[in-house]
């Protein structure tokens, strides 16, 4: 089969479009013919720090069709359309085929396309778990989403509106109109305005992108409110993990989220998408042999929504 394989000695690109053996499913695995895979920060960051998947093939968020099933498989049969996050199962999505245990995937809702399905698993699930589980989002809350224009941010913005909150998004000028179209009540263009200089306070803040002082976030929290660190620059992530708990006192809580793949949550998100409550923003599509270009693009940190590889 064709796959994009990591080779640390290859130069300048380390992701090489190659012929490799088609995987054979074990008794408790399915073989999936991949239709689409979306890239995440987890892909390029793992590559940057040398955390290479055992198959040497990146790509976690996949959609496709079951090609064959091991003899212990009970839920899926050949032809079923599936989607899922393979980050906990060795990645392997930038390829024509991948094997996975059945718990890694769910049925793809029939009304959504393979491209749309591939955008959901990691990005939308992170947004959901950050808002609902860590952020305790409630109807009527004032929510600030810092970094509302990327993969996680575009879903977070729409999910926050789904929960009937007042949403302020922070992004650069080029994404202001899109954020409004996705439902943001207010948009702050970070190239001209610093969100922390305003007197407005929020019940829930999601820090998704950028690198801002933790005290700026804390200053913007209303009484009985929560800041959730989702991501951002490596410096933002380490500062939040090291010092966030120190600033988490009184009625202002500072937390971080580490999203966990969860089939029920993914099914919920699939239903929201199917019912038009959320929609994925697909910035660019690439063919499999241009995966290296796609990875370079998302690693610049300014993609708008998701980047999808079609297979």
Ligand X SMILES: NC(=O)c1ccc[n+]([C@@H]2O[C@H](COP(=O)([O-])OP(=O)(O)OC[C@H]3O[C@@H](n4cnc5c(N)ncnc54)[C@H](OP(=O)(O)O)[C@@H]3O)[C@@H](O)[C@H]2O)c1
For residues 44-70, one letter each, b for 16 or more C-beta atoms within 10 angstroms of the residue's C-beta and e for the rest, the string is: bebbeeeebbebbbbbbbbbbbbbbbb
Q: Measured between alpha carbons, how far is 103 from 234 in angstroms, rounded to an integer? A: 31
Query: 153 or 270, CB closer to ligand X?
Result: 153
φ/ψ of 209, rounded to 5, equals: -135, 165
* 301: DSSP letter: T
- In the complex, the smallest distance separating the C-beta of residue 90 from ligand X, rounded to whole angstroms, is 18
Query: 24 or 234, CB closer to ligand X?
Result: 234
Query: 105 or 259, CB closer to ligand X?
Result: 259
Question: Any residues with CB less than 8 A from the CB of 259 and at least 6 apart, and which?
Answer: 122, 125, 126, 129, 130
Q: Beta strands 282-287 and 306-310: pairing type?
A: parallel
- In the complex, the smallest distance separating the C-beta of residue 233 from ligand X, rounded to whole angstroms, is 8
Is there a contact between 237 and 178 (Cβ–Cβ < 8 Å)?
no
Structure tokens at 53: 């998947």
- In the complex, the smallest distance separating the C-beta of residue 280 from ligand X, rounded to whole angstroms, is 12
- In the complex, the smallest distance separating the C-beta of residue 24 from ligand X, rounded to whole angstroms, is 31
Query: 69 or 306, CB closer to ligand X?
Result: 306
Query: 73 or 184, CB closer to ligand X?
Result: 184
- Which residue carries 């749309």 as its tokens? 116
Q: DSSP 3-state assignment of 164?
A: coil
Residue in 62, 55, 66 with CA at minimum distance from that of residue 29: 66
Q: Measured between alpha carbons, how far is 257 from 228 in angstroms, rounded to an integer? A: 7
| Residue 306 CB-density burial (10 A; 0-12 exposed, 13-18 middle, 19+ buried) | buried
Query: 25 or 169, CB closer to ligand X?
Result: 169
User: How many CB atoms are located within 10 Å of the residue 293 CB?
Assistant: 14
- In the complex, the smallest distance separating the C-beta of residue 156 from ligand X, rounded to whole angstroms, is 9
Binding site for ligand X (CB under 6 A): 40-41, 122-123, 126, 146-147, 149-153, 170-172, 175, 190, 208-210, 230-232, 257-259, 298, 301-304
Question: Any residues with CB less than 8 A from the CB of 275 and at least 6 apart, and which?
Answer: none
Query: 109 or 207, CB closer to ligand X?
Result: 207
Cα 179–133–138 angle (5° rounding)? 65
Query: 80 or 283, CB closer to ligand X?
Result: 283
- In the complex, the smallest distance separating the C-beta of residue 104 from ligand X, rounded to whole angstroms, is 17
Q: Measured between alpha carbons, how far is 264 from 165 in angstroms, rounded to an integer? A: 23
- In the complex, the smallest distance separating the C-beta of residue 298 from ligand X, rounded to whole angstroms, is 5
φ/ψ of 223, rounded to 5, equals: -55, 150
- In the complex, the smallest distance separating the C-beta of residue 217 from ligand X, rounded to whole angstroms, is 12
- In the complex, the smallest distance separating the C-beta of residue 175 from ligand X, rounded to whole angstroms, is 4
Query: 111 or 174, CB closer to ligand X?
Result: 174
């Amino acid at each position: 089969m064709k796959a994009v394989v990591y080779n640390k000695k290859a130069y300048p690109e380390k992701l090489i479009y190659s012929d490799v053996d088609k995987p054979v499913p074990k008794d408790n695995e399915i073989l999936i013919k991949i239709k689409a895979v979306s890239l995440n920060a987890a892909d390029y960051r793992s590559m940057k720090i040398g955390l290479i998947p055992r198959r040497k093939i990146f790509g976690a968020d996949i959609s496709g069709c079951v090609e064959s099933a091991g003899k212990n498989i009970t839920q899926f049969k050949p032809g079923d359309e599936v989607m899922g996050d393979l980050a906990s199962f060795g990645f392997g999505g930038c390829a024509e085929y991948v094997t996975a245990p059945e718990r890694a995937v769910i049925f793809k809702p029939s009304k959504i396309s393979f491209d749309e399905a591939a955008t959901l698993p990691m990005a939308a699930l992170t947004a959901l778990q950050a808002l609902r589980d860590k952020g305790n989002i409630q109807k009527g809350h004032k929510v600030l989403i810092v970094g509302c224009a990327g993969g996680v941010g575009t879903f977070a913005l729409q999910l926050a509106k789904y929960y009937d909150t007042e949403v302020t998004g922070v992004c650069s000028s080029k994404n202001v109109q899109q954020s409004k179209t996705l439902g943001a009540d207010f948009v702050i263009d970070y190239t001209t305005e610093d969100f922390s200089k305003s007197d407005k306070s929020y019940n829930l803040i999601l820090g998704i992108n950028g690198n801002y002082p933790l005290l700026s976030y804390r200053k913007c929290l209303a009484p009985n409110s929560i800041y959730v660190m989702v991501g951002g620059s490596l410096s933002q992530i380490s500062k939040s993990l090291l010092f966030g708990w120190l600033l988490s006192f009184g009625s202002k809580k500072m937390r971080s989220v580490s999203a966990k793949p969860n089939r029920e949550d993914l099914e919920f998100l699939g239903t929201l998408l199917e019912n038009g409550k959320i929609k994925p923003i697909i910035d660019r599509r690439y063919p499999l042999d241009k995966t290296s270009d796609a990875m370079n693009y998302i690693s610049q940190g300014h993609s708008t929504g998701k980047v999808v590889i079609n297979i």
